[in-house]
Amino acid sequence: MNRISAALAVLLLAGCAAPVLYGFSSDGRVTRDDWVHIKWVPTPQSIGMVVRNKTDQTLRIDWDASAVIDADGVAHRVVHHGVLYANRDRPQAPSPVPGGAAADEVVIPADRVGRFGIDALLPETDQGTSIENLKRYVGRSIRVVLAVTKGDEHREYLAAFAINHVAVDRRRPRSYGD
């Protein structure tokens, strides 16, 4: 969970002068079946997850068959923790999760990864959009389709995060020197 916390802290500090705070419903924060227990952590920039393998066989997370569907209903190819900017459009090897183990991951839409950071999955006010226009996202959802294989078997796990409020954070963003 440390990688997720560190990555999310960096992403949240990279916001604009008046960052937008999006609230997500608590529905869908955990997905479980006989293969996995997944804890999801949505943010406006990415979706964090801890994938625990409940089987005694190695599971593989198939990144190239996974996707993030944004609040406008557009599907995006994903990259996961550790993929470099230069490699964001290349095929990704599946991540093995041995039996009984867990994997900390962060998924980001590949087309939102730039040379100098990550563009928000949800718009910010510094992108020329007023807070009133951003409120149109309330009631919409961000979804993740996570493809997992075990041997020859394939499953897709869907998590949906409803946006339940939008507000401008009027507090001064913290910097590393504070």
Please, what is the average pLDDT of the chain? 78
Domain membership of residue 175 (yes or no) is no
Number of structural domains the chain divides into: 1
More confidently predicted of 65 and 120: 65
Confidence of residue 177 (pLDDT cuts 50, 70, 90): very low
Q: What are phi and psi of 18, to 5 degrees?
A: -125, 80
What pLDDT score was predicted for residue 147? Answer: 96
Whether 26 is in a domain gets the answer yes
Three-state SS at 36: strand
> pTM for this structure?
0.76
173 domain-assigned? no
| Structure tokens belonging to residue 2 | 């440390």
Which domain range does residue 128 map to? Answer: 2-168
Q: 130 or 40: which carries more pLDDT confidence?
A: 40
117 located within any domain: yes
70 in a structural domain? yes
Name the band, by pLDDT with cuts 50, 70 and 90, for residue 129: low
Q: Which residues contact 17 (CB under 8 A, 6 or more apart)?
A: 126, 173
pLDDT at 68: 92
pLDDT digits (tens, 9 = 90+) for 144-175: 999 999 999 999 999 988 888 887 766 645 44
Q: Does a structural domain hold residue 12?
A: yes
List the CATH number of the domain containing 129: 2.60.40
178 assigned to some structural domain: no
For the chain, where are the alpha helices, taking DSSP H only? 2-13, 131-134
pLDDT in tens, 78-113: 888 777 677 777 888 899 999 999 999 988 888 877
Alpha carbon separation from 176 to 9, 172, 173 (Å, rounded): 11, 13, 10
Q: What percent of the chain has pLDDT over 70?
A: 72
Does position 56 have pLDDT exceeding 60, yes or no? yes
